[in-house]
Amino acid sequence: MNPQNTYDVIIIGAGSLGTPAAFYFASAGLKVLVLETVPSVGQGSNKRAIGGIRATHSDPAKIRLCLRSIEIFSTFKEVYGKDIEWDQCGYSFIAYTPREEKILKDLLTIQHTYGLVNNWYAKDDLLKIIPDLTPQGLLGGTFSPNDGSASPLLSNHAYFTLAVEKGVTFHFCEPVTSMVVQRGKIISVTTSRETYSAGVVLNTAGAAAAEIGRMAGVEIPVRADSHEAAITEPVARFLGPMIVDIRPAPGSSNYYFYQHTTGQVIFCITPSPNIWGEDVNETSSFLPMVARRMISIMPRLKNIRVRRTWRGLYPMTPDGFPIVGWSSQVSNLLLGVGLCGQGFMLGPALGELLTRAVTGEVLPEDADTLRYLSPQREFIGQELLK
């Protein structure tokens, strides 16, 4: 093997996790190669993300990770001198039925245990935070003031720039085509152009994670689920937090929206049942469905014009939690896959965690997080706040 083609770490995928991970690996002194199928960073699911960043999850692993990501995002400009359009707008999960009220109140116990600063607000108090909510039938909701949003494209490009400054090599338009595994270890990675070797191969291939896993003889339970989103024309700022309505309805299980700092309202819906496959063509059913739901809780939105819709892929796991850690079948295959549409908010913290896993500097709390997200876990139960 040509010494120039030998690295400490090969990362497959330059998206929401692969690019931050490359920066953190290089910052730890490792020689890193990133292989990407498309022409530049963040051109897969990353550019289709709507930019929400929250720690209001239902399990300690994602809560812990996203609290760290929020630390990173909220100080990015001060630490690295790059504006990623961070906006600490907060998140509000609203309740119009007793079902949602119970779910949200029960989760507060878990969330407070792990340091979240969020609380339940009864109807009148919540309307002070979000005056434009429909008051009829509103029971209240939770509000987490430290959550926020940032630009996925600006963030990923910032990490790319920082990684290149640290010496990371990025090869674009170079898909991985095969791997050689001997005695339970990846010996080489072959692309459309060349063959490489590394002590560690990190799979962060998003919707293609299962395909990459099969090249190493590893079955990874990740498959793509299509989600649709949209953006409106810009209007004067009137909405503070991201609004999340977890009520199920025909065709969808929940939806969420917020107003960007530039004035546009950005929104997305979670389809029910799942739309499995890799179709990213927009549909005619999405906009009428989500518009009805949004206007029902915020009538003020009815006159805003929608500028564009798009569709992206969520790499889903059976239980709705990411798969993070070492493969039990291939000793030098590290997995950061199945991020279930939350790769943008998880990426920075997971990049740090994976670096510690490789350098042998795992913290006590990392062990607990890795246990929750282990590739060897039983995929039972479901994430409650997807």
Helices 152-165 and 343-359: angle between axes, nearest 10 degrees = 20
For range 170-196, the mean pLDDT: 98
Residue 85: which of 267, 312, 263, 262 has the closest Cα?
262
Calpha distance 334→181 (Å, rounded): 14
CA distances from 131 to 138, 238, 240 (A): 12, 9, 10
- pLDDT score at 279: 93
Q: Using one digit for the tens of pLDDT, what is the confidence trace for 245-286?
A: 999 999 999 999 999 999 999 999 999 999 999 999 999 999
All domains in the chain, ordered by first residue: 3-50+153-222+319-372 (3.50.50.60), 90-146+224-315 (3.30.9.10)
* Residue that the structure tokens 């959550």 belong to: 147
- Report residue 149: phi and psi, to 5°: -150, 160
Q: How far apart (Å, rounded) are the C-alpha atoms in residues 238 and 260? A: 10
Q: What is the pLDDT of residue 144?
A: 98
Structure tokens at 239: 């909405």
Q: In this model, does residue 386 exceed pLDDT 60?
A: no
- pLDDT at residue 384 above 70? no
Each residue's pLDDT tens digit, 297-345: 999 999 999 999 999 999 999 999 999 999 999 999 999 999 999 999 9
Distance CA 281, CA 226 (A): 9
As a whole number of angstroms, the distance between CA 385 and CA 378 comes to 20
SS3 (DSSP) at 20: helix
Mean pLDDT of the region 148-166 = 97
Q: How many helices (H) and strands (E) does the chain have?
A: 10, 18
